[in-house]
Amino acid sequence: MTLVAHLTELRNRIAKALLALGLGTIAGFLWYDHGLLTFLSEPYCSLPAELRFQGDDNCRLVVLDVFGGVLLRLKIGLIAGAVLSSPFWLWQLWAFITPGLKRNEKRYAVTFVAASTSLFALGAVLAYVTLYKGLELLLGLAGDEVAFQLTAPDYLGFVISLLIAFGLSFELPLIAVALNLVGVLSHAALSKSRRWIFFLTIVFAAFVTPTQDPFTMLAMALPMVVLFELAIQVARVVDRRRAKRDALEHFHGLSDDEASPLDAGPSAVDTAPTPPGALLAEDPAPADRAR
């Protein structure tokens, strides 16, 4: 394809992706009043009643300006629409990139996309599960005489930032695996830096978590440590296979007068069969034996 044809295809696929995003945003905008807002506010509404200021028996979030509710609904609808339409716009991206990839590169790309999606979802689910404990700890530190009435933009922005922070953080070990697959980062370097990786992971979790409480920090750091250890073990297997493959390629590329790189120890020499010609050459002639 020519450059103009590539640009035309890119324009068409971006237009289709934006159309899918717009339809997803409309669906998220309509979903806002039919379960989405309840789902996002459930961790706050599940807190003990003494931590929340309630004018009535219902759990309500507050909006302090006229356009705050509309902007909040559009923001939540856009984020929900991006999630709902992600299969379609990711497919448009994949269809644009695929013709330029080889078969093994396509296989790696599919595996990488599936793993990154699963890790992001795992991080978001873990963030939502730990959100209740984090809020209870943070709001409880203010004392028994203080009750909170959170504004909807602040609270929902906090929840979304926590979900995104957990989801993106769980992608970091996958990036280490990807760097190892392309040969930039070796298992030896990862294994040697294991303690520093674990320490920096804890520091990273302390700065990234919006709540910055010990419970949420450990809830992010401990799974990331496990994932980094898994990434180190994957790098060990990949480097071992790569070394074996390189040795075989080097062996097949040798000329007739070059020594083999394979390690032939004494045991291999002793157990190797002796050619019949060598036995005849070493066997003394009958006349010599008679002498």
Average pLDDT, the chain: 78
- Does residue 284 lie within any of the structural domains? no
- Does residue 258 lie within any of the structural domains? no
Beta-bridged to residue 52, according to DSSP, are 148
In the structure, what pLDDT confidence band is assigned to residue 19 with cuts at 50, 70 and 90? very high
φ, ψ dihedrals at 170, nearest 5°: -75, -5
Cβ distance 13 to 92 under 8 Å?
A: yes
Cβ distance 20 to 88 under 8 Å?
A: yes
CA distance linking residue 165 with residue 157, whole number of Å:
12
Which of 273, 53, 37 shows the shortest CA–CA distance to 150? 53
Quote the number of domains for the chain. 1
The pTM (predicted TM-score) of the whole model is 0.69
- Does residue 269 lie within any of the structural domains? no
In the structure, what pLDDT confidence band is assigned to residue 238 with cuts at 50, 70 and 90? confident
Would the pLDDT of 3 be above 50? yes
Which of 291, 131, 275 shows the shortest CA–CA distance to 211? 131
- In terms of residue numbers, what domain contains 40? 3-248
- Does residue 13 lie within any of the structural domains? yes
- Does residue 166 lie within any of the structural domains? yes
- Does residue 239 lie within any of the structural domains? yes
Would the pLDDT of 86 be above 80? yes
Where does residue 268 fall: left (phi above 0), alpha (psi -120 to 50 degrees), or beta otherwise? alpha
- Does residue 192 lie within any of the structural domains? yes
- Does residue 281 lie within any of the structural domains? no
- For the stretch 92-137, pLDDT in tens is 887 787 777 677 767 777 788 788 888 888 988 888 888 888 787 7
Would the pLDDT of 254 be above 70? no
